[in-house]
C-alpha cells in the first residue's frame, strides 16, 4: 500500500534520513521505532507531503506522491495525527470531527448565510456521521464539550476520530500513546486493533511506548541516526542484536 524507496532528507547539510526504504501492507499495523532523533517523524512528514525528499521516492497504491500537495495526499486516503494534538480548542468535540468531513459535505457560503435547505441537510448528515465515529471510539458522551477542556488522553482520541472522518485507507499515527496512562494505553491498543480488523485499515505507527508497539504490531521497522536498522516481526525485532545496540548503546549486545 505504501512504499518508500531510498528516501534521503537533508536540512542545510544535516542528513535526517539516509537511504531508508520500507513498505506498509494493506490491513497491517506497521510500527516505526527508534531512539530520539532517529528520523521517524521526518519519515511521516515526507509521506504526508510536509517535507520533500532530497532523494528517493514515496509511493501510495503504486502512484508517486513525493511532489503532491498535502491536501491531495490526504484526499487520496492517507491521513495523519501529530505528536502534539492539533485540535480546535474552542470548537466542540463533534465540530472538530466535522472538520474532517468537510470534503464530503459541500455547500457555498450563501447557503450557510441564508440557512438554505442544502446547508441544513449537509450539516445534519455531517453531524450524524461525526457522532457515529465518536461512538466507534467510545467518546460520544463528550460530543458537545469543548475540545480544549478535555484531558490529554481524550484529546488524543478525538484527533484519531477526526483523522478517521477523512475516510483514510492508511492512517499514520505520530506518538499516539505519548503521555497516556496505563489504562489509556490498553484502551488505545484495543481501538487500533479494532480499526485494523473491523475496517481493514492499514496503520503506520510511530511511538516510543513499547506496550503499544510490541502488543499490536504486525511488523516493526527500526531506525537509528536516520538509517534503517532492521524490519521484521515483533519476535524478530526483540532478539535482533543491532536493535538492542541501537537502544542500549555499546553494552546492548551483552544486555
**pLDDT for position 111:** 62
Please identify, among 146, 167, 188, the residue that sits at the C-terminal boundary of a domain: 167
Which pLDDT tens digit goes with each residue over 130-153? Answer: 999 999 999 999 999 999 999 988
> Do 120 and 37 share a structural domain?
no
> Do 206 and 181 share a structural domain?
yes
**pLDDT for position 45:** 94
On whether residue 82 sits in a domain, the answer given is no
Please identify, among 115, 149, 167, the residue that sits at the C-terminal boundary of a domain: 167
**pLDDT for position 108:** 60
Which pLDDT tens digit goes with each residue over 98-119? Answer: 988 877 666 666 565 566 676 6
> Do 254 and 177 share a structural domain?
yes
Q: Say whether 8 sits in a helix, a strand or coil.
A: strand
Please identify, among 127, 150, 167, the residue that sits at the C-terminal boundary of a domain: 167
DSSP β-ladder status, 63-64 and 55-60: antiparallel
Give the alpha-carbon dihedral of 194, 202, 100, 46, to 10 degrees. 140
> Do 255 and 198 share a structural domain?
yes
pLDDT above 60: residue 176:
yes
| C-beta separation of 126 from 114 below 8 A | no
> Do 162 and 55 share a structural domain?
no
**pLDDT for position 119:** 63
**Average pLDDT over all residues of the chain:** 89
Q: What is the pTM of this model?
A: 0.87
> Do 175 and 71 share a structural domain?
yes
Which pLDDT tens digit goes with each residue over 229-245? Answer: 999 999 999 889 988 88
> Do 159 and 205 share a structural domain?
no
> Do 179 and 62 share a structural domain?
yes
pLDDT above 80: residue 247:
no
Q: What percent of the chain has pLDDT over 70?
A: 91
Which domain does 254 fall in, by range?
Answer: 1-77+168-255
How far apart, in whole angstroms, are the C-alpha atoms of residue 173 and residue 90? Answer: 24
Which pLDDT tens digit goes with each residue over 42-60? Answer: 999 999 999 999 999 999 9
Half-sphere exposure of 98 (CA within 13 A, CB side): 18
Q: What percent of the chain has pLDDT over 90?
A: 68
Q: Say whether 143 sits in a helix, a strand or coil.
A: coil
On whether residue 132 sits in a domain, the answer given is yes
pLDDT above 70: residue 3:
yes
pLDDT above 90: residue 86:
no
DSSP 65-93: -TTS-HHHHHHTTEEE--SS----TTSBH
CATH number of the domain encompassing residue 37: 3.40.50.300
Amino acid at each position: 500500500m505504501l512504499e518508500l524507496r531510498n528516501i534521503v532528507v537533508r536540512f542545510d547539510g544535516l542528513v535526517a534520513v539516509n537511504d531508508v526504504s520500507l513498505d506498509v501492507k494493506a490491513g497491517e499495523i506497521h510500527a516505526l521505532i527508534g531512539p530520539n532523533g532517529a528520523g521517524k517523524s521526518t519519515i511521516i512528514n515526507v509521506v504526508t507531503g510536509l517535507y520533500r525528499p532530497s532523494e528517493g521516492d514515496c509511493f501510495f497504491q503504486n502512484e508517486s506522491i513525493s511532489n503532491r500537495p498535502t491536501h491531495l495526499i490526504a484526499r487520496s486516503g492517507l491521513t495523519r495525527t501529530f505528536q502534539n494534538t492539533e485540535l480546535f480548542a474552542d470548537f466542540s468535540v463533534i465540530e472538530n470531527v466535522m472538520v474532517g468531513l468537510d470534503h464530503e459535505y459541500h455547500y457555498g457560503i450563501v447557503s450557510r448565510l441564508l440557512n438554505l435547505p442544502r446547508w441544513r441537510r449537509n450539516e445534519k448528515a455531517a453531524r450524524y456521521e461525526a457522532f457515529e465515529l465518536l461512538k466507534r471510539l467510545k467518546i460520544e458522551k463528550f460530543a458537545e464539550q469543548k475540545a480544549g477542556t478535555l484531558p490529554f488522553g481524550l484529546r488524543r482520541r478525538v484527533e484519531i476520530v477526526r483523522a478517521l472522518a477523512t475516510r483514510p485507507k492508511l492512517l499514520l499515527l505520530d506518538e499516539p500513546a505519548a503521555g497516556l496512562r496505563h489504562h489509556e494505553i490498553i484502551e488505545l491498543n484495543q481501538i487500533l486493533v479494532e480499526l485494523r480488523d473491523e475496517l481493514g485499515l492499514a496503520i503506520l505507527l510511530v511511538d516510543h511506548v513499547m506496550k503499544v508497539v510490541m502488543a499490536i504490531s504486525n511488523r516493526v521497522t527500526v531506525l537509528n541516526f536516520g538509517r534503517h536498522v532492521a524490519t521484521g516481526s515483533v519476535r524478530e525485532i526483540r532478539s535482533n542484536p543491532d536493535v538492542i545496540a541501537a537502544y542500549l548503546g555499546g553494552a546492548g549486545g551483552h544486555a
